[in-house]
Structure 1
């Protein structure tokens, strides 16, 4: 009972000022912020630094409204430095005396949010300056280590891993992400675990290690089931799932994942990420339709000798959502679909040249369009050599409009893969095609008998070995 009275006396003097008094107290800060917003970027810098330092006050103010104004000033200062291309000054501010004085007087959660927001602003304004982004992250990590801010360091390391991934420095990225995951599993930080496992999946996929990419994605989904995941992160997970299924050739499942991601991104009006998802959806439709047509042709069914296959993606493009994203990216996919429908290799190559940036810059689309080109080349070659038992390679080259060495290499590959039976007579420059002979059922049954006898003998040997061991 005696201790209650002194506590009451201590709380009274630190009570928050009235609303009118607080507004009057930060009026000069608001005037500085308004003054800076009306000036060019290079002239904003000294005013914003003066605002953050709070030079006009005898003692720097860190009330709720003062901190809010200074926080916005930090973001404006970051944008100003990026506008005048003085990226190193962003690092100097974050790790220097001005930034340190401000960060030391705000709580750790707000400090972490502010640093991450500054990083996001830099990455969004200058996405091509990856070396500068890496330098900023490394400097911030050093600062967090000295200040012993573990959670903030882990967040920045996750960002650094994504930057190393964009730089295609996969060895450093996977080393960093593995070390980070070991720490996160001890702390059980589910939110960051989801992001880290997703980045791990992307790195392994870039290294063409699909099983590990799939395992990392499963771990990311497992962690995501235990927490609330933002729509943008869920869209990234669905996009990665679609990417892996596309790599495995399951185009229908991949299309459904890309559709889920596209709908979420469309609701958020995230055009930059929604367009690639729409392109992936059309790619899956094109590949699935062409594969069905080629399988039907290989079986000799209806349309086996047809020069066209139905590849219709107009429904996705002309829909309510698709029309909103009309542009060269969508035109490129439509052109690919038309060339694939006609099975015209020449038209297909013309499309790749015309829309090179839209089709070749994306690794997923580039890889599968190369596979599509190989399929079109094979189907065209099979259609050309089908009527012949012996044909000159130069004649095939003229018909398909590809150089003789490339035709020879592709035909030899198709023979080795069992696409048709024949030999290349390079001395005469001819391709000799054999008729498909009936399978020798007697030889196949003989091979089965030999395999069964081998299994029996092996089993008897193991049993005799076990008996000898028991007798000894």
Structure 2
């Protein structure tokens, strides 16, 4: 390759892009080339483009922007996030000093790249905080708020839910309300919902969704936002055990997301090299997979297992998700539940290292409890007295766990019996009908009192 002083910068950049698309070229080689371009002092870069390479200022700015973003993508692909952090912090100074109007656009692209497969949450938070400080010093209020949203999102992903909520409620929501920025407020309320949901404060999570719905009535929002809100509504209804309504929301959300997924997946060859685009497609796929699992879960929880076949017959399921490990796991759960097999269900749960979704796991625990109760009642039903150890052997669970569960069932009134913990026996009694004579007598006495009161009033008048 020709030296930097004798070859047009635009040609050098084009050659670097071409090498990147060539699978035989290592990313490190391309990084070296683009780093040399990026390290040229901007004043020299501008002068040479205008004076020597017959370019203009606007074209030079556009080329510089492409170089910065492309270098960011290369660092991302190479997972060199320390270098990407330095690039972001250095670039914001160069962009602000030379073409201020582009700063938000370029930094947003770099931030998206910075978050891809980046496990170093501390580096992410420190970098964004430094960028917020720079934006505040330069009095770029909108940029600072945009970065604060990014910080709140990072704190959420870092499981600092209370800190994320603090940023949202003390610094962002009130600020965007004053600006009447409805589209940003929707994003903030969605993030607020996610924080409250993780904290298991479902009432406040639902209030966040209500705030979103109120805003949507007065502003246009894209289809993906509507799809996300449908999914979140489904989650809340699921937590409230209204599985039929939850299923309706999940189904609607799935259809909309799948339409978007098909559009994104059938992109041109140029997009297939775009790291940000690849991540968006992958994210859509993961959301669709979650929605399918939620839909199947709703049918199980509503005790409509026979209707799950309609989900399996969806074209999207057959074409895209059929052999997925997560769905095979859920299929195994369905089979164990349908067979009323507690042993198989227990085996599935104990070997689970695939599904880590909070909604799925919490409901699997509920399902396990339902199956355990059904199995216990089925075993106990023919007996007047049974050893707890015998129940433990039949079900294949520890004695203490069975003893505790039987105690709960007696207290809940699901078993009419008495547990002798000293001897390890469970005595089961017939379900004796309640004697209602006392209650009927009390009602009769009350009515007679009312009649006597009326007679006393009439006797008083006669006197």
TM-score in same-fold range (> 0.5): yes
Gap change, CA 1:335 and 1:429, over 3 Å in 2:
same
Cα distance in 2 for partners of 1:275, 1:446 equals 61
Cα distance in 1 for partners of 2:130, 2:92 equals 13
Cα distance in 2 for partners of 1:336, 1:35 equals 53
Cα distance in 1 for partners of 2:335, 2:312 equals 14
Matches within 5 A, 1:372-383: 372-383=367-378
Matched, 1:47 2:47: no
Q: Secondary structure at the match of 1:69?
A: helix
Alignment correspondent of 1:284: 298
Alignment correspondent of 2:287: 273
Cα distance in 2 for partners of 1:444, 1:211 equals 40
> Number of paired residues?
402
Gap change, CA 1:346 and 1:203, over 3 Å in 2:
same
| Aligned counterpart in structure 1 of residue 9 of structure 2, from 29, 45, 50 | 29
Cα distance in 2 for partners of 1:368, 1:443 equals 43
Gap change, CA 1:400 and 1:55, over 3 Å in 2:
same
Ranked by relative contact order (alpha carbons within 8 Å, sequence separation 6 or more), the top structure is 2
The alpha carbon displacement at 1:449 in A equals 10
Q: Secondary structure at the match of 1:436?
A: coil
| Aligned counterpart in structure 2 of residue 358 of structure 1, from 354, 364, 379 | 354
The alpha carbon displacement at 1:377 in A equals 0.6
| Aligned counterpart in structure 1 of residue 186 of structure 2, from 184, 194, 204 | 194
Aligned 8 A contact 1:311 1:337 in 2: no
| Aligned counterpart in structure 1 of residue 165 of structure 2, from 171, 174, 181 | 174
Aligned 8 A contact 1:241 1:254 in 2: yes
The alpha carbon displacement at 1:105 in A equals 3.1
Judge which range, 137-146 or 336-345, deviates more.
137-146
Gap change, CA 1:227 and 1:127, over 3 Å in 2:
farther
Matched, 1:349 2:346: yes
Query: Please, which runs of 5 or more residues in structure 2 have no aligned partner?
Result: 1-6, 21-26, 51-55, 262-283, 448-463
Judge which range, 130-139 or 240-249, deviates more.
130-139
The alpha carbon displacement at 1:176 in A equals 0.9
Aligned 8 A contact 1:423 1:433 in 2: yes
Aligned 8 A contact 1:164 1:172 in 2: yes
Matched, 1:102 2:95: yes
Alignment correspondent of 1:115: 107
Cα distance in 2 for partners of 1:87, 1:127 equals 7
Query: Please, which runs of 5 or more residues in structure 1 have no aligned partner?
Result: 1-26, 291-309, 453-472
Cα distance in 2 for partners of 1:417, 1:314 equals 35
Cα distance in 1 for partners of 2:180, 2:387 equals 67
- The superposition leaves residues 181-238 of structure 1 with CA deviations (integer Å, 9 ceiling, x where unpaired) of 1212222110110010111111111111111100011101211222222222222211
The alpha carbon displacement at 1:139 in A equals 1.6
- Tell me how large the CA RMSD over aligned residues is: 2.5
Gap change, CA 1:444 and 1:91, over 3 Å in 2:
farther
Matched, 1:389 2:370: no
Gap change, CA 1:215 and 1:115, over 3 Å in 2:
same
Aligned 8 A contact 1:201 1:213 in 2: yes
Q: Secondary structure at the match of 2:298?
A: helix
Matches within 5 A, 1:68-87: 68-87=62-81
Q: Secondary structure at the match of 2:433?
A: coil
Cα distance in 2 for partners of 1:235, 1:119 equals 24
Matches within 5 A, 1:126-205: 126-179=117-170, 180-205=172-197
Aligned 8 A contact 1:259 1:281 in 2: yes
Q: TM-score, normalised by structure 2?
A: 0.81
Judge which range, 79-88 or 203-212, deviates more.
79-88
The alpha carbon displacement at 1:56 in A equals 4.3
The alpha carbon displacement at 1:351 in A equals 2.1
Alignment correspondent of 1:331: 328
Q: Secondary structure at the match of 2:119?
A: coil
Q: TM-score, normalised by structure 1?
A: 0.79
- The superposition leaves residues 103-147 of structure 1 with CA deviations (integer Å, 9 ceiling, x where unpaired) of 333353x321221221112212x2433222222221211111111
Gap change, CA 1:142 and 1:56, over 3 Å in 2:
closer
Aligned 8 A contact 1:29 1:66 in 2: no
Alignment correspondent of 2:215: 223
Judge which range, 55-64 or 168-177, deviates more.
55-64
Alignment correspondent of 1:405: 400
Q: Secondary structure at the match of 2:386?
A: strand
Gap change, CA 1:29 and 1:203, over 3 Å in 2:
same
